[in-house]
Structure 1
Amino acid sequence: MPRGGRIIFLDVGNVLIDDDPFLCEAFRLIHKAMPVESPRSRMDRFLGDVDRALRSHGHMAVERMGIRCLRRQWPKVRRDVQLELERRWWQLARRVPGALEAVKGLHERFRLGIIANQPPQALDFLEQQGLLNLFEVVVLDSQHPVSKPSTAIYRIALEEARVDPHESLMVGDRLDNDIIPARRTGMRAVLLWLSAKQKAWRPKDHWGEIMHPILERLPAPRWDNIPPQERPLAMSRGWGELQAAIDQAWEAVL
């Protein structure tokens, strides 16, 4: 089978679909499950713990808070949280502002694909938002026996795209799930950091309102402690910088 031309793969969470509403709801459910007599359940202390967990552990903050606040009860509560997030998925899902226009711009220059840990309904959502038809290759963990950060899901996507790793590029917001495994697979990678302000989510409930300032203060990821061969080849702090960051990554010597 002939090989295809260059392709750019995008993540979905915090790239095409905003993760912030899901994140805030997960923390709300953890707090709800805590014993009222626990000192950690005091709102000021809980929010402080959330702030520190997000800064120290990034996307693992929910897991860290669950373990810290609920200890042995966390495995059961984790499942309850997952079920509630699945139940409310369509209420919480929202397209990241600027994503459609940016993806259309990329589609004019490159083949596009998706590599993401997402439920099947994410495809229906992306189709409703006018995004899905812009992607030639779509690989979700819910359709395969592997998930990110395993490099196996990246190899599946490369095989479906019929492209060599160095002729592909991953765009994602996470170092652990997107950048590092892509680089280990031999792909190029660009870190896309969209701040809470850029994602422009405006919570309509009290819990979201008290959580949102924490999200707005979060700094961009750092990769000082990551080996050079696993770092992003460029970083984009918004959609306006993405095309230039992608060009820089294509020009980089692997």
Structure 2
Amino acid sequence: MDQQLPGRVRVVVFDVGETLIDESRLWAQQAHTVGVSPFTLMGVIGALIEQQESHHKAWDILGVEAPSAATEIRPGDFYPDALDCLLAARDTGFVVGIAGNQLAGATSCLRAGGFDADFIASAAKWGVAKPSTSFFSLIADASGAEPGEILYVGDRLDNDIIPAAVGFRTALLRRGPWGQIHSRHVDSSLADLRLDSLTELASIFRAATSGAPAEQPANELRRDDPAIRTVRASDADRPSYR
């Protein structure tokens, strides 16, 4: 079924984990760190997701201490369709942001991988993380746009779609354990778009702007707009994982 971009969207903001990056290696490393098999850890997390419980309970269930060190994102962790989608959003005139409860040092990894968004939000620097609605209010502040002009793209109902749906337009991406399970829940209907890939979203961006006159920008809010506030994370930032 064809999907269309919701009206008035001028800013597109991407979640990080299981939206831009594949967390399989990161979770496997966390499992090895605490001395359990990746299959066991991921099975427990899957059961918690299905029960709508916090995945942080996995460590207690397994009887181990939660890993204290963050796992660094590497170039090979990016999903193949992620950069193309971000570039498609930029090329068609949208202001682009990245905002998630990402790992320490994620900002430099994202920029090194070519994900040079107009703003990259830091949960640690702001002192607030998803699913707090304050996190989304700060995204609106950073973008200089009204909530209804922002499309937030994520893989989770609890962290992304439900808290953002208070004013943002939203896109639920069905991949990763959260995306696969949450896409079957009735609350998935809260999302304006339901996607199987970011390739699909890139096509929606291009279709939404294909009819715009060449001499006019697709959106009034531009990257050089002084209302867009640059937000960068420092190496000292220590946002919580997921």
Q: TM-score, normalised by structure 1?
A: 0.66
What residue is the counterpart of 1:123 in the other structure? Answer: 107
Q: 1:1-254 counterparts in 2 under 5 A? A: 6-32=10-36, 47=39, 50-51=42-43, 53-57=45-49, 62-70=55-63, 74=64, 77-78=65-66, 81-83=67-69, 86=70, 88-90=71-73, 94-109=77-92, 110-132=94-116, 135-184=117-166, 186-194=167-175, 219-222=180-183, 224-226=185-187, 231-243=190-202
Give the superposition deviation at 1:31.
3.8
Counterpart secondary structure, 1:191: strand
Kindly indicate whether structure 1 or structure 2 has the higher relative contact order, using CA contacts under 8 Å at least 6 residues apart: 2
- 8 Å contact kept, 1:137–1:157: no
Query: SS in structure 1 opposite 2:28?
Result: helix
> Following TM superposition, by how much is the alpha carbon of 1:194 offset from its aligned partner in structure 2, in angstroms?
3.2
Q: CA deviation at 1:248?
A: 11
- Which range moves more in the overlay, 47-56 or 156-165? 47-56
Cα distance in 2 for partners of 1:188, 1:119 equals: 25
What RMSD over aligned residues (CA atoms) do the two structures have, in Å? 3.3
1:11 Cα shift? Answer: 0.6
Q: Residues 166 and 67 (structure 1 numbering): CA distance in 2 closer, same or farther, change over 3 Å?
A: same
Specify the SS of the correspondent of 1:226.
helix
Provide structure 2 residue ranges, at least 5 long, that are not aligned to the other structure. Answer: 1-7, 209-242
Structure 2: how far apart are the matches of 1:12 and 1:139? 11
**Percent identity of equivalent pairs:** 23
Q: Distance in 2 between matches of 1:93 and 1:120?
A: 17
Instruction: Give the 3 Å change call, closer, same or farther, for CA 191–245 of structure 1 in structure 2.
Output: farther
Taking structure 1 as reference, are residues 223 and 114 closer, same or farther at Cα in structure 2, changes over 3 Å only? same
- Whether the 8 Å contact between 1:170 and 1:189 is mirrored in structure 2 is yes
In structure 2, how many angstroms separate the alpha carbons of the residues matched to 1:94 and 1:47? 19
Query: In the aligned structure 1, how far is the partner of 2:111 from the partner of 2:105?
Result: 10
Cα separation, 2, equivalents of 1:137 and 1:68: 38
Structure 1: unaligned runs, 5 residues or longer: 33-42, 196-214, 250-254
Q: Over residues 196-243 of structure 1, what are the superposed CA-to-partner deviations in whole Å (9 max), with x where a residue is unaligned?
A: xxxxxxxxxxxxxxxxxxx7xx94423535396xx2112110122214
Amino acid at match of 1:98: D
TM-score by length of 2: 0.69
Q: Which amino acid aligns with 2:160?
A: D
Give the number of the structure whose alpha-carbon radius of gyration is greater. 1
- The number of residues matched between the two structures is 198
Partner letter of residue 182 of structure 2?
Answer: P
Change beyond 3 A, Cα 1:5–1:47 = closer
Q: Where is the helix percentage greater, Structure 1 or Structure 2?
A: 1
Q: Taking structure 1 as reference, are residues 126 and 68 closer, same or farther at Cα in structure 2, changes over 3 Å only? A: same
> Partners in 1 of 2:206 and 2:192 — Cα distance?
10
